[in-house]
């Protein structure tokens, strides 16, 4: 639905060049909620502004719903008629809402409809429908100054939906809101995604936002995308930074001669009682050291750190069993174990060995 | 001089003053509003960024602003004759009044429009709005309270200028004060003229403030410039 190819944006000011985007390839599928995560200054804001060409990329292409927007742009800084028409099919919500204080809530929602050239009666009907959809039908006649932050963002969302867009861009839409309001606004976005089949590209610096609503995610750093994929894919990728951040597990081995294993659940297996089966089949005691499980996009996913009695050599068979179940397995090399001798057990971070010495 | 003798003089002078101020205000808005908006649009970070055009408009506005009204009025006599066919009377005075008020108001418009949140402009662009849409639906409505405050200041400045115009043949209260107060020592009439001007300026200021407050109340968050009590602007 949204594809960018080798998107590059370089700002020039007073002879200095700042590269905000450094060859970004983004692919957002139709009907999914895609989160771009990154610290401030990573280039995410520039990226989302390049998608509807509020910022002109220095190089690269942007394709939204099969149309190459970068080809419609024209040369000058002004947006031509074709680009403007394409923009009416792309909704956008902002961190600071950007509602007109001179207009009522209803008139704010009608604004994009005025641009589309609808008649007064059609505008009013559509605006009221949209306000009803976001749960603010009773606030149509008040001015935005009288609304709370969450309500303002709901108006912003209603306004963004006015042109029946297929794509919604969300620029840190929940960053100015408190945690509870954030949850309700995210829930609304999720509902709209399901009900209207709306493709949503959101940028955020909050991991929780990605966790709550995203089907796919990308991590941005220094103007580049360093990781991208669906949440289960990311979990299945050994060493994925996003997966570790999304599902952090901790916990130390309770003593020597123990094997610590990180298990990653992705896809179907999460619904099966794997751990208790393992314990029964091999009659071993299993201690759970830490776990982060969640339901992401309706599927149970997460990571768990368990401890098995005995050194690794004795546990090759149970670990093999876990691998057969389609789980991601990482054996955490305990400090003090062979190969890591001499380091003090407590403070040293456990080293990850992928696959655990096959 | 009796009240009955003064009354028709005062009445006619008031009408002349209102005529001059009224028409020059109309031209100030017609000329100053687009110029002020253009200054913002063509300026740094504006939607129609254009260095040369911005510099030219800025220079024209500055020239207009830097000439004292008295000198402008005399310098424009040939131009006034060309435009309205005469160089004396209220109609002729409207020409220099408008010429001086246009750049004055343009700068006030520029300041007001520049204060509009850039995020709102971005939002309308993201909806597919053109530059004209941005001006009509965002820049002007959002800066309306400041624009009205600026217009109030302009009208009051014009009342002051119109008295000066009157003194050199433009008619109005300025002319009255000169011919009767200065040349014939009619103190009573002079006092009444002063009182009339004070009342006129106060009414304009109060009306302007009222409108600004009305507009600001519904938005509440937008900041309104404090009332500027400019009675007369002798220059």
Residues A277 and A135 in one domain: no
Residue B25 confidence (pLDDT) above 50: yes
Chain B contact present for A114, CB below 8 A: yes
Probe site for chain B from A51, A69, A91, A102 (most B CB atoms < 10 A): A102
Task: Check CB contact under 8 Å for B47 and A92.
Answer: no
Return the minimum-mean-pLDDT range out of A24-33, A158-167, A276-285, B151-160. Answer: A276-285
Query: What's the pLDDT band for B87 if we cut at 50, 70, 90?
Result: confident
Task: Check CB contact under 8 Å for A145 and B117.
Answer: no
Would A288 be classed as within a structural domain? yes
Q: Please report the pLDDT score of residue A312 as a whole number.
A: 85
Residues A85 and A221 in one domain: yes
Task: Check CB contact under 8 Å for A111 and B144.
Answer: no
Task: Check CB contact under 8 Å for B126 and A90.
Answer: yes
Residue A218 confidence (pLDDT) above 70: yes
Instruction: Give me the residue from B127, B131, B144 closest to A102, CB to CB.
Output: B144
Residues A120 and A160 in one domain: yes
Residues A53 and A115 in one domain: yes
Check if the interface score ipTM surpasses 0.85: no
Alpha-carbon distance of A136 to A128, in angstroms, equals: 9
Residues A210 and A318 in one domain: no
Would A185 be classed as within a structural domain? yes
Q: Please report the pLDDT score of residue A337 as a whole number.
A: 46
Both ends of chain B: CA-CA distance in Å?
Answer: 31
Alpha-carbon distance of A228 to A231, in angstroms, equals: 9
Would A241 be classed as within a structural domain? no
Q: Which residue has the higher pLDDT, A267 or A266?
A: A266
Return the minimum-mean-pLDDT range out of A256-260, A302-306, A337-341, B215-219. Answer: A337-341
Inter-residue contact B152 to B213 (CB < 8 Å): no
Task: Check CB contact under 8 Å for B48 and A100.
Answer: no
The mean of the pLDDT values for chain A is: 85
Q: Please report the pLDDT score of residue B3 as a whole number.
A: 84
Q: Could you report the per-residue pLDDT of B88-98, keeping only the tens digit for each?
A: 888 889 999 99
Q: At A187, which CATH number?
A: 3.40.50.300
Distance in Å, alpha carbon of B210 to nearest chain A alpha carbon? 17
Inter-residue contact A87 to B124 (CB < 8 Å): no
Would A81 be classed as within a structural domain? yes
Contact residues, chain B, for A112 at CB < 8 Å: 127-128
Backbone angles phi, psi at A11, to 5 degrees: -95, 135
Residues A7 and A105 in one domain: yes
Alpha-carbon distance of B107 to B104, in angstroms, equals: 6
Residue B222 confidence (pLDDT) above 70: no
Please give the distance of CA A213 from its chain centroid, rounded to a whole number: 7
Per residue, the 3-state secondary structure of chain B, as one string, reads: CCHHHHHHHHHHHHHHHHHHHHHHHHHHHHHHHHHHHHHHHHCCCCCCCCHHHHHHHHHHHHHHHHCCHHHHHHHCHHHHHHHHCCCCCHHHHHHHHHHHHHHHHHHHHHHHHHCCCHHHHHHHHHCCCCHHHHHHHHHHHHHHHHHHHHHHHHHHHHHHHHHHHHHHHHCHHHHHHHHHHHCCCCHHHHHHHHHHHHHHHHHHHHHHHHHHHHHHHHHCCCCCCCCCCCCCCCC
Give Cβ neighbours of residue B133 (< 8 Å, ≥ 6 apart).
A115, B124
- The predicted model gives B124-136 an average pLDDT of 94
Alpha-carbon distance of B209 to B122, in angstroms, equals: 31
Full set of structural domains in chain B with CATH: 3-219 (1.10.3720.10)
Quote the domain boundaries for residue A255.
Answer: 247-353
Query: What's the pLDDT band for B223 if we cut at 50, 70, 90?
Result: very low
Instruction: Give me the residue from A52, A87, A98 closest to B120, CB to CB.
Output: A98
Q: Please report the pLDDT score of residue A300 as a whole number.
A: 67
Would A139 be classed as within a structural domain? yes
Give Cβ neighbours of residue B23 (< 8 Å, ≥ 6 apart).
B94, B97, B98
Q: Could you report the per-residue pLDDT of A135-174, keeping only the tens digit for each?
A: 999 999 999 999 999 999 999 999 999 999 999 999 999 9
Q: A11 forms bridges with which residues in the sheet?
A: A18
Contact residues, chain A, for B130 at CB < 8 Å: 79, 84
Percent of chain B with pLDDT over 70: 92
Q: Please report the pLDDT score of residue A314 as a whole number.
A: 86
Distance in Å, alpha carbon of A305 to nearest chain B alpha carbon? 46
Chain B contact present for A175, CB below 8 A: no
Task: Check CB contact under 8 Å for A163 and B128.
Answer: yes
Return the minimum-mean-pLDDT range out of A16-20, A131-135, A199-203, B167-171. Answer: B167-171
Task: Check CB contact under 8 Å for A84 and B47.
Answer: no
Tell me which of A236, A264, A283 is where a domain ends.
Answer: A236
- The pTM (predicted TM-score) of the whole model is 0.80
Residues A220 and A334 in one domain: no
Q: Could you report the per-residue pLDDT of A91-138, keeping only the tens digit for each?
A: 999 999 999 999 999 999 999 999 999 999 999 999 999 999 999 999
Q: Could you report the per-residue pLDDT of A179-206, keeping only the tens digit for each?
A: 999 999 999 999 999 999 999 999 999 8
Chain B contact present for A88, CB below 8 A: yes
Inter-residue contact B158 to B99 (CB < 8 Å): no
Chain B contact present for A115, CB below 8 A: yes
H or E element: which one contains A304?
strand A299-309
Tell me which of A217, A236, A255 is where a domain ends.
Answer: A236
Task: Check CB contact under 8 Å for A115 and B119.
Answer: no
- B206: how many CB neighbours lie within 10 A of its CB? 12
Would A358 be classed as within a structural domain? no
Would A242 be classed as within a structural domain? no
Probe site for chain A from B46, B116, B127, B217 (most A CB atoms < 10 A): B127
Task: Check CB contact under 8 Å for A146 and B220.
Answer: yes
Task: Check CB contact under 8 Å for B127 and A111.
Answer: yes
Alpha-carbon distance of A78 to A73, in angstroms, equals: 8
Residues A34 and A109 in one domain: yes
Chain B contact present for A163, CB below 8 A: yes
Alpha-carbon distance of B115 to A220, in angstroms, equals: 33
Extract the tokens encoding A95. Answer: 């961190």
Distance in Å, alpha carbon of A340 to nearest chain B alpha carbon? 55
Distance in Å, alpha carbon of B112 to nearest chain A alpha carbon? 14
Contact residues, chain B, for A171 at CB < 8 Å: none
Extract the tokens encoding B103. Answer: 């750049």
Alpha-carbon distance of A113 to A35, in angstroms, equals: 28
- The predicted model gives B185-209 an average pLDDT of 92
Residue B231 confidence (pLDDT) above 50: no
Would A197 be classed as within a structural domain? yes
Instruction: Give me the residue from A101, A114, A162 closest to B221, CB to CB.
Output: A101
Percent of chain A with pLDDT over 90: 52
Tell me which of A216, A236, A256 is where a domain ends.
Answer: A236
Q: At A272, which CATH number?
A: 3.30.70.260
Residues A232 and A262 in one domain: no
Residues A231 and A251 in one domain: no
Q: Could you report the per-residue pLDDT of A21-62, keeping only the tens digit for each?
A: 999 999 999 999 999 999 888 899 999 999 999 999 999 999
Which SS3 state, helix, strand or coil, does residue A19 take? strand
Q: Please report the pLDDT score of residue A271 as a whole number.
A: 63
Residue B226 confidence (pLDDT) above 70: no
Backbone angles phi, psi at B232, to 5 degrees: -125, 150
Distance in Å, alpha carbon of A37 to nearest chain B alpha carbon? 22
Q: Please report the pLDDT score of residue B233 as a whole number.
A: 41
Contact residues, chain B, for A114 at CB < 8 Å: 137
Domain count of the fold of chain A: 2
Residues A100 and A207 in one domain: yes
Contact residues, chain A, for B119 at CB < 8 Å: 94, 96, 98
Q: Please report the pLDDT score of residue A335 as a whole number.
A: 54
Inter-residue contact A296 to A307 (CB < 8 Å): no
Residues A158 and A279 in one domain: no
Q: Which residue has the higher pLDDT, B38 or A211?
A: B38
Task: Check CB contact under 8 Å for A163 and B127.
Answer: yes
């Amino acid at each position: 639905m949204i594809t960018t190819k080798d998107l590059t944006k370089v700002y020039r000011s007073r002879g200095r060049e700042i590269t905000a985007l450094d060859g970004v390839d983004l692919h957002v599928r139709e009907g999914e909620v895609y989160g771009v995560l990154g610290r401030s200054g990573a280039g995410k804001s520039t990226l989302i502004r390049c998608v509807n060409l509020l910022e002109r990329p220095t190089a690269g292409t942007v394709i939204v719903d099969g149309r190459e927007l970068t080809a419609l742009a024209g040369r000058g800084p002004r947006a031509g008629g074709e680009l403007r028409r394409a923009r009416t099919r792309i909704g956008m919500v902002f961190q600071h809402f950007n509602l007109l204080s001179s207009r009522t809530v209803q008139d704010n929602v009608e604004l994009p409809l005025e641009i589309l050239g609808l008649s007064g009666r059609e505008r009013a009907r559509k605006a009221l429908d949209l306000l009803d959809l976001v749960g603010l039908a009773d606030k149509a006649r008040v001015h935005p100054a009288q609304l709370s932050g969450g309500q303002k963002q709901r108006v912003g969302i209603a306004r963004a939906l006015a042109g029946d867009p297929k794509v919604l861009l969300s620029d840190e839409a929940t960053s100015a809101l408190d945690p509870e309001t954030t949850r309700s606004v995210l829930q609304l976005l999720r509902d709209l995604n399901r009900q209207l089949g709306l493709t949503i590209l959101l940028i955020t610096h909050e991991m929780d936002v990605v966790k709550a609503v995203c089907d796919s995610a990308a991590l941005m750093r220094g103007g580049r995308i360093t990781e991208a994929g669906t949440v289960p894919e990311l979990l299945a990728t050994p060493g994925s930074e996003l997966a570790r951040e999304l599902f952090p597990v901790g916990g130390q081995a309770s003593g020597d001669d123990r094997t610590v294993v990180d298990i990653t659940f992705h896809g179907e297996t999460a619904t099966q009682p794997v751990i208790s089966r393992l314990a029964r089949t091999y009659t071993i005691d299993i201690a759970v050291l830490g776990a982060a499980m969640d339901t992401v996009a309706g599927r149970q996913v997460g990571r768990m750190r368990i401890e098995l009695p005995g050194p690794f050599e004795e546990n090759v068979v149970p670990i093999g069993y876990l691998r057969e179940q389609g789980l991601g397995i990482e054996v955490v090399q305990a400090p003090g174990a062979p190969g890591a001798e001499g380091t003090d057990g407590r403070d040293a971070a456990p080293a990850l060995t992928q696959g655990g010495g096959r | 001089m009796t009240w009955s003798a003064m009354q028709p003089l005062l009445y006619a002078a008031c009408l002349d003053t209102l005529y001059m101020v009224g028409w020059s205000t109309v031209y100030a808005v017609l000329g100053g509003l687009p110029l002020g908006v253009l200054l913002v649009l063509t300026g740094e970070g504006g939607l129609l960024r254009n260095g040369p055009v911005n510099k030219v408009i800025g220079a024209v506005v500055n020239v207009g602003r830097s000439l004292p009204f008295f000198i402008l009025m005399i310098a424009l006599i040939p131009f006034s004759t060309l435009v309205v066919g005469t160089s004396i009377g209220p109609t002729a005075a409207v020409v220099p009044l408008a010429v001086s008020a246009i750049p004055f108001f343009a700068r006030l418009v520029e300041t007001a429009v520049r204060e509009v949140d850039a995020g709102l402009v971005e939002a309308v662009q993201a909806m597919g709005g053109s530059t004209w849409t941005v001006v009509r639906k965002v820049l002007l409505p959002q800066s309306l309270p400041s624009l009205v405050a600026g217009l109030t200041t302009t009208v009051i400045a014009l009342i002051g200028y119109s008295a000066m115009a009157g003194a050199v043949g433009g008619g109005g209260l300025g002319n009255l004060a000169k011919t009767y107060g200065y040349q014939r020592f009619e103190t009573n009439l002079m006092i009444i003229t002063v009182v009339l001007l004070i009342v006129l300026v106060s009414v304009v200021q109060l009306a302007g403030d009222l409108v600004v407050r009305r507009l600001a109340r519904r938005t509440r968050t937008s900041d309104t410039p404090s009332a500027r009590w400019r009675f007369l602007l002798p220059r």
